[in-house]
Amino acid sequence: MELFFLGTGAGVPSKGRNVSSVALSMLNERNAIWLFDCGEATQHQILKSPVKLGKINTIFITHMHGDHIFGLPGLLSSRSFQGGESELFIYGPKGIEAFIRQSLELSASRLTYPLTVVELENEGSFQKDDIYIHYAELYHGVKSYGYRLEEADKAGALDAERLKEEGVTPGPLFSRLKKGEQVMLPDGRMIDGKDYIGAPQKGKIVAIFGDTRQTEAELDLAHGADVVVHEATFSGDKKELAHEYWHSTTYEAATLAEKAEAKQLILTHISSRYDKEASKELLLEAREIFPNTEMAYDFSTFIVGGAKEE
């Protein structure tokens, strides 16, 4: 799992940051990409990135503000122009379906693939593939959601080296042993695959938040997450301004990560008043409270449970 940031700015595009969108790439695990928010020019950002439009099969919208949705009609249309045929799912607040359908209808745009739009209410959970998704309402000027993604635990790895040491040749037998089957070896020995499989690998947990003031509702979503992606629109000394505009500061995002016992925090949705140098100061502020914090810039890539890729 990798997080790839297509847009990390707040409100309006700036020279250094486009507006909000982040892709969760699961190409190795599920051959799919999930997109969270789709601000203006997201598809232009995709053209400069390793993200493949045809691999996006699910889009989550956190809320209906323009800097999170204005890129959606164009992206949906381009997916058709590029020959998209597989079904696309969109989850978001009430109103997202009307926005999409009217935009497409008024622009005479026709999709070449099935589109399923699910409007969310308050909070709830559902499962998609082998990922359990919980969503809850945050505290913003409009209905805004945070999403928690819990990946199912994976089977342990097969101890191939031990099998080789015991004279088992790699090949079809390895596949059967990986499934935990009992197999008869050419020399007559019977071995059980369960004896050669390591402990289950814990699934990853990712929490991605829409715009919000500090609120207790975030804690359950972020608890124990491998990575929390959270807005930090303003610096720590702008708490009153952040509250007035229904946003969070660096200190508030870091405090959430600390209270939730998360493993990593990634800051995004940065106000255009902060250039690249000022953004470094925002990062230092957050690290005063939660040391394992990173700053997202457009085209930053992070391995979930790992390090930032340069």
Residue-level pLDDT at 156: 87
* pTM score of the predicted model: 0.90
CA angle at 56 for the pair 52 and 61, rounded to the nearest 5°: 125
Which CATH class, in words, describes the domain spanning 2-154+203-309?
alpha beta
pLDDT band with cut points at 50, 70 and 90 for residue 200: confident
Parse the chain into domains and list their residue ranges.
2-154+203-309, 160-196
Encoded tokens for 215:
């609120």
H or E element in which residue 146 lies: strand 145-151
The owner of tokens 């589109």 is: 115
The span from the CA of 152 to the CA of 134, in Å, is: 14
Beta carbons of 305 and 263 less than 8 angstroms apart:
yes
Q: Is 67 labeled as catalytic in the residue annotation?
A: yes
Encoded tokens for 274:
């902060």
Q: Which amino acid is at 104?
A: L
pLDDT (average), residues 251-256: 98
Beta carbons of 204 and 189 less than 8 angstroms apart:
no
Residue 233 C-alpha from the chain's centroid:
19
Residue-level pLDDT at 230: 98
Q: In sequence order, which residues have a C-beta less than 8 Å from that of residue 300 and are 6 or more positions away?
A: 4, 5, 8, 294, 308
Q: Which of 37, 67, 211, 226 is catalytic?
A: 67
Residue-level pLDDT at 308: 61
Average pLDDT, the chain: 95
Instruction: Quick: pLDDT tens for 92-109.
Output: 999 999 999 999 999 999
Beta carbons of 165 and 181 less than 8 angstroms apart:
no
Bridge partners (DSSP) of residue 127 are 132
pLDDT at 239 over 60: yes
Encoded tokens for 281:
């100061």
